[in-house]
Structure 1
Amino acid sequence: MTHHQELEQQALKLTILGNAGMVVLGVVFALISSSEAILFDGVFSGIHLAISLLSLRVANLLYQPEDQEFPFGYAMFEPLLNLGKGLVIALVALLALFSSVESILNGGRPIEAGVAIWYAIAASAGCLILAWKQYRYAQTSHSPILDVDAKNWLIDGLISGAVALAFGLILILQHSDLGHLVPYADPALVILLVFFVLPIPIQTVRENWAQLMGQAPEDALRQQVNDIVGNVLKPLPHEDYHLRPLMTGRLIYVQVYVKVNEQQAKAYGVAHVDKMRSQLYQRLQDAFPYLAMDLIVTCDRSWIHRAIMPAD
């Protein structure tokens, strides 16, 4: 876990530096070109910078042990952070959408397209390189924070690439019979970018909201957990078992109840259960590096339900 933590810290520091550079680049070129599309891109990077600083703090908390204030640790902070990221990005996109619609209704706005193209090319290249590096870090460290970060860089890179293409088109329009449409090009471009970007933060919000609400993980993950537990328990005496898998950020929590009858219970001493618990934990951790697990052996099925609510 220490190696994963180091990789995550390196990646988040890289994101902070990258976003700081993009903010400066975006604001400077937005002032020179009078482009709201570039300003939108710069504001986007500014939000990423603020969130990246918070992400660095949350990433440190995730590796802290439980304490009196948070007896189950800090895992819940990760989906909460990613939910916040998605909401803020969606809100900024909607504000940019309303601003651009208002601009079109008021006759558009002139821009310096030639200057803007150079910004868009530089920004797109930088963002796509960082998206690739963060994706590699995310795959190695199994970090959902970095996975969301890589998606954000990809969004930013695609936005900047689209801006470069659009400003090239604007330069062509300026020397054609359609030159009167040029003032509308920048707000129209922002509107297109918003509709392209918006589904990604909405998906991020949905996924992390489901985790905060304790919703079951996707079917493929549940089946994988069930297969591993079933293979471990197959040679052991038991009547049935019950699983409750839960995903919170990077953490997979698996609650396993093994139901045995009174005759089978004689084979389960404390040492035997601990050995079974160790074997099951190892098999699950091979598939899920960030794992928390409880294994309970009982003759009384009511304890399976009493783990989450009162039961007769």
Structure 2
Amino acid sequence: MCARTTYNEKRVLTLSALFASLFAGGGLVIGLLVGSLVIMFDGVYSLVSLLLTLLSLATSRYIMKPSDERFPFGRAVLEPAVIAVKGAVILLVVGYSLYSAIGAMFTGGREVDASIATAFGAINVIGCGFAWWYMAALNKRRTSGLIDAEVKQWQMDAMLSVAVTAGFVIAWGISLTPLAPYAVYADPMMMLAMSFYFIKVPFQMLTSALREIFLMAPSKEICQTVDQSVFDAGKESDQEIELAGVTKVGRELWVDVDIYPDSSEMILLEDIEQTRETIKKRLAKLPLKLQITVNIAT
């Protein structure tokens, strides 16, 4: 990965850590003051996001070190490993919040000061929305798996803040009607709804990262692009060329190609290099570091 991408990654992760620390502190304090499960979940989620962002920042720096005896094939696998940890931890946070919400529903609900909660929610919507937009814009310039995970975290936080604010506005409206006794169930009901909705994102993060860790096939789009590049290389070569395997590991794309020589010909080093360069040229548009291995099949 180039130096500019590395700088962009560190910049985004550092900003994310600063934003997360602010929202974590505010969410925990306000949540405890007003007794809201949802706001406390928002604060805990931001605190977890902060810790995970610091982990991503440390990993981002460590990945750039060259291969050595401990990591003879590089450190690219650390990126999906960190993303898997993020997904698993967020799943745990959402699961615990779901458990707390169910408990509150069966113990009479939770009374919340809707005015303070609504004001805090509105501030969170603006702050989290800005963080999500800003980091997504930076990620478009230089794509990174770690930054993409950060963008998804802030997307969840922004949507959570919108749901919290809307829920408290509804709860405040209910408190002004004959249904006021039921307003205490608004907070745990919001937590239930959001838990079921948000569980999808960390689950996708976890499964996607595990696919990379276990060297499974990448997305259909990447596979099609690699297939086409190998097909083009075969048309430019006198030898039969076949794609042996392809997988994405973090920011790297590993491509294995087999060359089947004609029994009456000898494959020259130039043929192998030409095949590698042709495939590399065709895949240059992908925002990934290419690791192309050309094997002579027998």
Q: TM-score range by the shorter chain?
A: over 0.9
Residue deviations 1:124-161 (CA, integer Å, cap 9, x gap): 11111111122122222220111111111011111111
Is the 2:233–2:241 Cα contact (8 Å) retained in structure 1? no
Match of 2:75 in 1: 74
Q: Report the secondary structure of 2:285's partner residue.
A: helix
Gaps of 5+ in 2: none
Quick one: distance in 1 between partners of 2:105 and 2:270? 74
The Cα of 1:28 is off from its aligned counterpart by 2.1
Quick one: distance in 1 between partners of 2:81 and 2:175? 47
Residue deviations 1:220-243 (CA, integer Å, cap 9, x gap): 211110111221231211134233
TM-score using structure 2 length:
0.95
Quick one: distance in 2 between partners of 1:286 and 1:216? 19
| Further displaced range: 187-196 or 137-146 | 137-146
Is the 1:82–1:205 Cα contact (8 Å) retained in structure 2? yes
Q: Percent identity?
A: 26
The Cα of 1:272 is off from its aligned counterpart by 4.2
What is the aligned-residue RMSD (CA, Å)? 1.4
Whichever residue aligns with residue 159 of structure 2, its letter is L
Match of 2:194 in 1: 193
Match of 1:93 in 2: 94
The Cα of 1:202 is off from its aligned counterpart by 0.9
Residue 47 in structure 1 maps to residue 48 in structure 2: yes
Quick one: distance in 2 between partners of 1:71 and 1:163? 48
Quick one: distance in 1 between partners of 2:173 and 2:286? 54
Whichever residue aligns with residue 294 of structure 1, its letter is T
Length, aligned pairs only: 297
Residue 132 in structure 1 maps to residue 172 in structure 2: no
Match of 1:109 in 2: 110
Is the 2:237–2:271 Cα contact (8 Å) retained in structure 1? no
Quick one: distance in 1 between partners of 2:284 and 2:63? 17
Quick one: distance in 1 between partners of 2:287 and 2:152? 22
Residue 243 in structure 1 maps to residue 230 in structure 2: no
Q: Report the secondary structure of 2:231's partner residue.
A: helix
1:1-312 matches, cutoff 5 A: 1-265=2-266, 268-298=267-297, 300=298
Is the 2:237–2:275 Cα contact (8 Å) retained in structure 1? no
Q: 1:96 to 1:145 in 2, by over 3 A?
A: same
The Cα of 1:288 is off from its aligned counterpart by 4.1
Is the 2:230–2:241 Cα contact (8 Å) retained in structure 1? no
Runs of 4+ with deviation above 4 angstroms: none
Is the 1:138–1:144 Cα contact (8 Å) retained in structure 2? no
The Cα of 1:252 is off from its aligned counterpart by 0.8
Whichever residue aligns with residue 76 of structure 2, its letter is A
Residue deviations 1:42-93 (CA, integer Å, cap 9, x gap): 0000000000000001111222211011101111111111111111111111
Quick one: distance in 1 between partners of 2:242 and 2:104? 62
Is the 2:255–2:291 Cα contact (8 Å) retained in structure 1? yes
Is the 1:252–1:288 Cα contact (8 Å) retained in structure 2? no
Is the 1:237–1:264 Cα contact (8 Å) retained in structure 2? no
Quick one: distance in 1 between partners of 2:84 and 2:101? 26
The Cα of 1:182 is off from its aligned counterpart by 1.4
Whichever residue aligns with residue 162 of structure 2, its letter is G
| Further displaced range: 138-147 or 148-157 | 138-147
Gaps of 5+ in 1: 301-312
Q: Report the secondary structure of 2:236's partner residue.
A: coil
Is the 1:238–1:264 Cα contact (8 Å) retained in structure 2? no
